[in-house]
Structure 1
């Protein structure tokens, strides 16, 4: 084992004082150990005695040594990081997905790098390429409702990638999705159980797979109850579009008494439109939103909503990714579909819900 000398220690301290980046060799000299011992302290501390580990850690602290992950990546071929690209960090569903992924990566000794594409295809593809070039251990992608060409290309180059909250299976990647049709069904069925007989669906654009599936589910529930379903397509899922759609519906001569909204902000807008026209929620109109956004519980009238299992989605996606990064021989690309659930709040709970004769208009 190398012997520490005053000159070695002075050189290491001088390098730190002069702004030079201390090296592993500087740490080893100051601690009086071999370079391999420093490496073990950093990567396999269980292989080093506590006395030696403390010496090395003291030298690291004194020199201000920072690990060079770029150099480590060149040797190992990958980093101990996982990249996550989210479509919209402002949506609480994607925040939950990130939290689930962070918990799962941390439990496996990995770090999570997060990027927000901000509903921009070019930014999404650029972040995917950036994480691929950084040689992350793998990638998680909660994508836009659009082409996944960049993700597929990365997967085919050998970088494991799992898609979260996407519509369909892909032969090159694992996927974690939610049964959106079930969510729409639960929302409409709940309103019918509360006595609603003139139903409407508010949401859009309808070319988005999630919105279309939610509409299909609501239609199924209405058909089972022999009810019609009016559809109002919106340009976006925000409060303003909800207010406009709600106003249009409530001005009709045969006014609706139950509205399924494809998002919680839309539900807020619908309820605002009802208040402006003196329509009581939930006595005259029952409303259900979607996603369990913070707006749902914090609204003046707490909004019933369809909650998606965001935390579980992030956890499951990370587990699938780790299986692939560990070259598990039993790993096969698969699509895992999770179920949403209804959270009933004041916006849809009438004092005397009508639960009988659901198939009668």
Structure 2
């Protein structure tokens, strides 16, 4: 900045005002300083500025899988929420890799970001606790934490699982299968428990089995579809609830080669991923309000950063059923 001041023939404080409070500077001086900035190729060091001010204006967001449009929706909402409060947002994708997630969290922490939004690969209380110990506000998305530990926002996955199974039951399905990942992934566990509740309400008229997969992606869905097709027809489920839309997409890709969807077997997924809306057979789903989750998350995190009478909150958002051709007979 001193070089800019010397080139423009003004005081250092005038350059600071041009950058931070241009309304306080005469038009002619503004032009002279901006001309010097352009000539010198000056770029402001925002990290140093944040240190001097004692507060950054950047939020970080780490998501599990940017290939899932649910997380894209979260990012869009978080960006809107950050911008509404004069903040910028930087996005990182852990790609279902815990080590990569931790690397990004450390990077954001070392860069002294104002706060971090984290949609973790798995429940990450240790990571959040470590960052909070450094004075870094952390808000968890899609994973609940006690309010005395911080803010968190979730979708009611239990209700979402219930809605999915109830829809299949209402469509006349009596042999259901839940295709999902390990129970240590809290959202998937809650979805399965919700489905179990819907089945229990039928008093034995409907059965539910679980087909466990290693990941909630399309290849694992295709593998689960092959498992189903290898069975005798009378041993196959007539309704499948997939724990994610990408799983459902893989299932439909495999099953539709040998079965009539939904006449022989109905399929419903979870997330309202853009991929299932554009599938050859549009796939029913449970929609999550990702954009709302991101926007609320950024607003709550900004409240904690600004310390404007902030109180931690645990927010639960409602899912919604979207019925499409994969589960509704024509």
TM-score, structure 1 normalization: 0.84
Equivalent residue, structure 2, for 1:307: 287
Question: Is the partner of 1:290 in helix, strand or coil?
Answer: coil
The match for 2:239 among 243, 258, 283 is: 258
The alignment yields a C-alpha RMSD, in angstroms, of 1.9
Contact 1:152–1:173 under 8 Å retained in 2: no
2:252 to 267, 271, 279: 271
Q: 1:45: Cα distance to partner?
A: 2.3
Q: In structure 2, do the counterparts of structure 1 residues 242 and 219 end up closer, same or farther at CA, with 3 Å as the change threshold?
A: same
Range with bigger deviation, 279-288 or 234-243: 234-243
Match of 2:270 among 290, 296, 308: 290
Distance in 1 of aligned mates of 2:55 and 2:38: 26
**Deviation per residue, 1:166-202 (Å, 9 max, x gap):** 1433532211111111111111111122222222211
* Greater RCO (Cα-Cα under 8 Å, separation 6 or more): 2
- In the other structure, the counterpart of 1:11 is none
Match status 1:29 vs 2:6: yes
Instruction: Work out the CA distance in 2 between the residues paired with 1:52 and 1:309.
Output: 48
Q: How many angstroms does 1:146 deviate by? A: 3.8
Deviation sequence 1:295-331 (CA, Å, 0-9, x none): 21121101111111111111111111100111112x1
Match of 1:72 among 46, 49, 59: 49
8 A Cα contact 2:142 2:187, kept in partner: no
- Mapped to 1, the partners of 2:32 and 2:85 lie a distance apart of 27
Question: Matches of 2:241 and 2:131 in 1, distance apart?
Answer: 38
SS at match of 1:177: strand
Unmatched runs of 5 consecutive residues or more in structure 2: none
Task: Tell me what 1:40 maps to.
Answer: 17
Q: Structure 1 residue 98 and structure 2 residue 78: aligned?
A: no
In the alignment, which residue of structure 2 is the partner of 1:345? Answer: 324
Structure with greater Cα Rg: 1
CA distance in structure 2 between the partners assigned to 1:97 and 1:206 by the alignment: 24
Whether contact under 8 Å (1:267, 1:288) holds in the other structure is: yes
Query: Paired residue for 2:58, among 81, 89, 94?
Result: 81
Across the two proteins, how many residue pairs are aligned to each other? 326
Displacement after TM superposition at 1:232 (Å): 1.4
TM-score, normalising length: structure 2: 0.92
